Structure 1
Amino acid sequence: MDAHFNTSRFRVEGMDCAACASKVDIAARRVAGVEDVSVSVMNGTLTVKHAADADLQDIATRIGNLGYPTTPIPASNDRPSAQGASGPVPTQGDRDHDESLPWWKTKRVLLALACGTALLLAYLVGWIRPEIGHWSFVAALLVGLVPIARRALAGALAGSPFSIETLMSIAAIGAVFIGAAEEAAMVVLLFLVGELLEGVAASRARANIKGLADLVPKTAMLVEGDMVREVPAAALPLAGIVLVRPGDRVPADGEIVEGNSAIDEAPVTGESVPKSKGPGDPVFAGTINTDAVIRIRVTAKAADNTIARVIALVEEAQESKAPTERFINRFSRVYTPAVLVAGALVAVVPPLLFGQVWGEWIYRGLAILLIGCPCALVISTPAAIAAALSAGARRGLLLKGGAVLEQLRTTTMVAMDKTGTLTEGKPKVTDIIGIGRSETQILSMAAALETGSSHPLALAILARAKADKVPIPPAFDLKAVPGKGVVGSVGGEALFLGSLAAGMEKTSITHDLRTRIEAFNDAGKTVSVLLIGDVIAGVFAIRDEPRADARAGLDALRKWGIGTVMLTGDNQRTAEAIGDMLGMKVLAELLPEDKQRIVRTLQAEGQVVAKVGDGINDAPALAAADTGIAMGGGTDVALETADAAILHGRVSDIADMIALSKVTMANIGQNIAIALGLKAVLLVTTIIGMTGLWPAILADTGATVLVTLNAMRLLGWRGTT
């Protein structure tokens, strides 16, 4: 934040589309002392950078006059927390379109009902007393038009003279003067119903993200010595121990310290099968403990847990406009005044120059004002972008804005790190050779020596022993041999577990065994040997294996004609072994600057490059790429540098992220075609006299609703893999 400016946030009710946001933005910018403004329709928030002496109440008042009740958000609530709080809740009197109320109780519904009732009464009066029927329709018109005209006037005073409310007010008042009061009243009712439907559709998109926050329970069972007490989950301290019972949701990101259970991660990751987890394994806030009581150590506060980070990134992304959206917004600022001019010309030119009937052509000019409403066009892009960002977040695909979502579909080359991206990032024992002893025996002995060690190769052996349910006996006289391995005794036998080179210093190996070990080395595997006394009793081959879905994920990219390349700092032999398994080109033994240089070289060759990585050494290349994608288990540096993030570490999610971009841009194209196509047809039919005010407003309202509903289809996107 600039040292000379403060930042304040406001809750703005009733914003349902980009046109609403534009009016709020313009009104806020006209207040003295305001430096910059950012409006989020999906979050219903306004962020203002301003001088210390700026009148914040004036900002709220001006925006409230536009029909969007506005209240400051206290600094303590500046960001929605994982507990579902999203700033202060306005009082009932402040709400215009309050998502906490059922849609049928909102003010927009009440206004539409009042207008509809007045119109029915006008028809009844006109039937009983035809001589005053015209005035009864004027009265019904005023019920709905007065609030619209008030908003139009406030918008004009706040710097938005060419709003839909302005077009509606001019058309309705003009219709009264040419004797079409009945039609004008119906048009206003249809407009109010259209606004109501827009609000309902927009609230669905908001609810999708708020649903993420609701995944996290409000309370947690905090362990304090021998006592367990219920506390607010938002107040859990770092390193605090939490008891989670079967069936409970995990209240915070943490690490299991006691107990083994199956964790259902479907609400957060979309994984269909619960994962078995035990001490040392991480768990996410919002996941469900299914089997047994576990205790977890809290590793992130509520504001920083997985769910909160997802929500924060999605909110930031929704406030970032896509290039298409920016173009349409600029276009609409010229388009709306042009519509007013076109309507005036249609109303005036034929009667003046060609002797046509004034009333007939004024009527057509007014209809053109309604046809020209830009609502459907303006909402076509942001509605689709917001829905896509929300759907992606549900699957752990985070994109930092519409521009990133739009860019991804043009990707022609994906450059990937190896460790932690294409591979699990955790070495695994792939092969065991027993010499004179069974595989189970030598694995049991090796695990005994490695118990308590945190070395990656030791952890691999312990993990294999756990997976194979091998008994681990006690080991004695344990001693590390720096750079070589570990010695000790198990069951009275002296053992050494270490590198092949260290083992060969103590004994020799047969030709056949050497051949097998060389084959392991050629496959990029690290070899450890177990000696009993001075005799080799076992060999362990260990390698960081490709992720289970790596091959399928790469194949999905290739089907679209997208190239792939591995960029890794690992040694050439290991990298090539993994590359051969996955069928991809490999560039190995690279420094961070080498990765960045290769990305720039690919771009110079005309490639649109997405770089995927999870480490600090990937950050320069992530920043240089057209799109930088951080893998979920990655470092904070990678996540901050990247344009997008894959929270759950699936290689197939890279293809899914590009697929989401493609389907979103197709949806936007459909929306623009709907918005402009209906207007083009109605424009022609109105000028030649086939259609009038009713079809015009039906077309506009219908187009807006169709565009919004089409965009909302993206909320149901579940990915392709």
Structure 2
Amino acid sequence: MSDTRSSKTTQASRPQASTTPVTLRVQGMDCSGCERKVEAALTRLSHVEEVSASSVTGSVRLTALPGKALSHSQIKSTLKALGYQVIDESVDTAESKKMTSWWQSPKGRLVIVSGALLALAWGLKFAWPALGSWPFIAATVVGLVPVIHRAWQALKVGNPFTIEMLMSIAALGALAINAAAEAAVVVFLFAVGELLEGVAAAQARRSISALSRLTPSTARLLERGEVREIAAASLQPGQRVQVRPGDRLPCDGQIIAGHSSIDESPVNGESVPRERGEGETVFAGTVNLDGVLEVEVTRSAENNTIARVIKLVEEAQAAKAPVARFIDRFAFYYMPAVVGVALLVAIVPPLVSSMLWSESIYRALALLLIACPCALVISTPAAIAAGLSVGARNGLLMKGGAVLEQLGKLKRVALDKTGTLTAGKPTVTDVESFNGISAGEIVRLAAALEQGSSHPLAMAISDYFHNEGFYPEGTQQTGVTLPAVRGGRALAGQGVAGQVEGRELMLVSPRYLQRSNSSANDWDVRIEALEQQGKSLALLLENDQPIGLIALRDEPREDAQKGLQALARLGVQAVMLSGDNARTVAAIGEQLGIEAEGELMPEDKAQRVRQWQAQGLGPVGKVGDGINDAPALAAAEVGIAMGSGTDVALETADAALLKNRVGGIAEMIALSRATMRNVKTNVALALGFKALFLVSTVLGYTGMWVAVMADTGATVLVTLNALYLLRYRFNDIG
């Protein structure tokens, strides 16, 4: 898909004497700590100049030193020693299609086994107290072995201060002072966290494959007047394809023959299908609605619109480094300091005073127990879990603590128009009649012409007829049917025609009148005024003379105005970015009182987000519901998908509004800020307890049993504080 990836040799053991960066797919690299370990290990290789690892995309990008060759066998062996595996392209393709359940993964099995052993240990403790701590020791060892292995491998490549090393020392220290139950709990919680990171990373990677499914697998190739099916991936510029009504376009191209309405919503979010004719450009993944088209391919499969969207999503996700885990950051300074202090407490007093070695070792072990990060391990995840639970109960889905933390920092939010600020489908806004014909009659005749059509405008007119009750006088709504159409026919890209009750009628776009000999000069001003409001028009003609018109537009959601006002109260600026035509976007933006920009392709939306970030206007959030929003959702600090959106938008985004309420954006931000206040309180409580009892333990005022109580008390306290967050109420935020 990318140039770097396609340059990778299939013979993993063959060195590459090139300075071109090479991208390798790596299995099991699921967190920022993993990234740092991989980068530290590979940077030490003599032939490597630069390394960039991404846990989001599961890839490592390497550049060789000038004149050197990348040895894939050495890279693979180095990664394998760390517990990771390089995946070949062919294997990766198969793996991406396999939906492995979390309990089938190594991390999942470890969580299940260690959790079962922990539960069994507690059961045995109450049933057979004589067994002592052995069940907890067994549970600790089972969960700790892989952690110690990873810590040792990281130590061998010069990276001793890892979260694995911190956990190993904490657990072993707890075992040494007979706190096996606490050791087992900490190891189990750590395993659960590792599993959740792996699941989230795998889901993010699978979202990329969902994008590729937009393009059909086959295409109808035109050669020497004959049509044959070939693989869409094999299409090359200059070839011609036939696209039937209802088919997705297999390529980016130019229409050579034919005229049709094209549903471009998968690419640009346009709410109303656009009419396309000879000489106009069409995009891969869009849907041909009503006419047969002959299209000349202008871009190869690896460079078409969908492929470029996929590449943008990959690059944005790789560039957006996940927020480092608090414990991992803190451990860089905390662990060596605590271990150093414990060693001093164990060794120095007997050498400079009459203190017994047994007493100094006792104090050192108590110090290690106090230093055990139990309360810290629980404090942040407990608050985050409570915040996520509150959000989920209210239809606010956030994919992890990093997202919840970042939401509260947002300064600007970019919103898509179609399906986000608007309902996502056109509705009738105006009906005007000519020559004294009633508005109801115009709607009735238009609905009759369009009956049976699945075109969005046709369905909107039909819905308007039935919902507004435009029925002939003397009839009841129940059981009334529209009159039959005789000689009904589609006017490719223009509208429909036929006889209704003996009247020769046509329902067409204003463009039809411009192309025909009929004159609509009397209505030019009115048509222009309605189109300036961003409305799509359908003109009803009888014997080629206009007798009325129907205007339609994708109108704002009922809660859009209130949701935008809630954002303003939180100090967050809202901007509309849309692929819809500029007039429609400007009209909706004016109606909502929001800055708006239209006619943007997916890469344009992502570029706007990056520009704001570069100008210091961020952090930036992006809200959308379509595949066209995927690159911008990935580029933003926080991507938010509407719950009715596509699977790709939901997978690419960091959060989702399951109730499709614009006000949910403000609710997410307010909940984030409340959660982070809770997190800061918890961290202060946990560190405060530790600081107090670290000093008292070093001075000998408190012993092991007090250390256990202090650590357990801090854990209980921060947990209760986190549970208080479950009572959070949104009031009237959104």
Task: Tell me the TM-score normalized by structure 2.
Answer: 0.58
Cα distance in 1 between the residues matched to 2:724 and 2:191:
16
Cα distance in 2 between the residues matched to 1:205 and 1:706:
26
**Pick aligned residue for 1:665 from 659, 669, 676:** 676
CA contact (8 A) 2:32 2:322 kept: no
Once the two structures are superposed, residues 572-628 of structure 1 have per-residue CA deviations (whole angstroms, 9 ceiling, x without a partner) of 543332122211123345566765665455445431133444567656655654445
Q: Partner of 1:471: helix, strand, or coil?
A: coil
Show the counterpart of 2:706.
695
Q: How far is 1:406 from its partner?
A: 3.8
Show the counterpart of 1:495.
505
Show the counterpart of 1:575.
585
Q: How far is 1:693 from its partner?
A: 0.8
**Pick aligned residue for 1:541 from 543, 551, 555:** 551
Q: How far is 1:198 from its partner?
A: 8.2
Q: Does residue 472 in structure 1 map to residue 482 in structure 2?
A: yes
Gaps of 5+ in 2: 13-23, 46-50, 62-70, 84-90, 202-312, 470-479
Gaps of 5+ in 1: 41-45, 64-73, 123-139, 174-183, 210-312
Show the counterpart of 1:365.
364
Show the counterpart of 1:423.
422
**Pick aligned residue for 2:566 from 549, 556, 559:** 556
Show the counterpart of 1:652.
663
Show the counterpart of 1:98.
112
Q: Partner of 1:547: helix, strand, or coil?
A: coil
What amino acid does structure 2 have at the position aligned with 1:527? L
- The alignment's C-alpha RMSD in Å is 5.9
Show the counterpart of 2:338.
339
Once the two structures are superposed, residues 630-682 of structure 1 have per-residue CA deviations (whole angstroms, 9 ceiling, x without a partner) of 55666788678766565765433433443454344334323422321221122
**Pick aligned residue for 1:683 from 648, 673, 694:** 694
Cα distance in 1 between the residues matched to 2:458 and 2:704:
78
Once the two structures are superposed, residues 363-413 of structure 1 have per-residue CA deviations (whole angstroms, 9 ceiling, x without a partner) of 333211100112433455566667767876787766676655443332212
TM-aligned CA distance change 1:453 to 1:678, over 3 Å: same
Show the counterpart of 1:445.
445
TM-aligned CA distance change 1:377 to 1:659, over 3 Å: same
Across the two proteins, how many residue pairs are aligned to each other? 559
Cα distance in 1 between the residues matched to 2:525 and 2:624:
35
CA contact (8 A) 2:621 2:637 kept: yes
Cα distance in 2 between the residues matched to 1:80 and 1:386:
30
Cα distance in 1 between the residues matched to 2:103 and 2:109:
14
Show the counterpart of 2:459.
459
Cα distance in 2 between the residues matched to 1:542 and 1:79:
42
Cα distance in 2 between the residues matched to 1:717 and 1:531:
59
Show the counterpart of 1:270.
none
Q: How far is 1:429 from its partner?
A: 0.8
Q: Partner of 2:426: helix, strand, or coil?
A: strand
Cα distance in 2 between the residues matched to 1:501 and 1:457:
16
- 1:505-524 matched pairs, under 5 angstroms: 506=518, 520-521=530-531, 523-524=533-534
- 1:369-448 matched pairs, under 5 angstroms: 369-378=368-377, 380-381=379-380, 403-433=402-432, 436-448=436-448
Q: Matched residues, percent identical? A: 44
CA contact (8 A) 2:560 2:663 kept: yes
Task: Tell me the TM-score normalized by structure 1.
Answer: 0.59
CA contact (8 A) 1:322 1:401 kept: no
TM-aligned CA distance change 1:718 to 1:540, over 3 Å: farther
Q: Does residue 526 in structure 1 map to residue 536 in structure 2?
A: yes
Show the counterpart of 1:220.
none
Cα distance in 2 between the residues matched to 1:487 and 1:718:
56
**Pick aligned residue for 1:111 from 109, 121, 124:** 121
Once the two structures are superposed, residues 116-163 of structure 1 have per-residue CA deviations (whole angstroms, 9 ceiling, x without a partner) of 667x559xxxxxxxxxxxxxxxxx466755775795787886667955
CA contact (8 A) 2:429 2:551 kept: yes
CA contact (8 A) 2:166 2:331 kept: no
Once the two structures are superposed, residues 193-213 of structure 1 have per-residue CA deviations (whole angstroms, 9 ceiling, x without a partner) of 67678889999999999xxxx
Q: Partner of 1:548: helix, strand, or coil?
A: coil
Q: How far is 1:493 from its partner?
A: 2.1
Q: How far is 1:543 from its partner?
A: 1.0
Show the counterpart of 2:274.
none
TM-aligned CA distance change 1:691 to 1:393, over 3 Å: same
Show the counterpart of 2:65.
none
- 1:264-343 matched pairs, under 5 angstroms: 322-325=322-325, 328-343=327-342
TM-aligned CA distance change 1:52 to 1:25, over 3 Å: closer
What amino acid does structure 1 have at the position aligned with 2:426? P
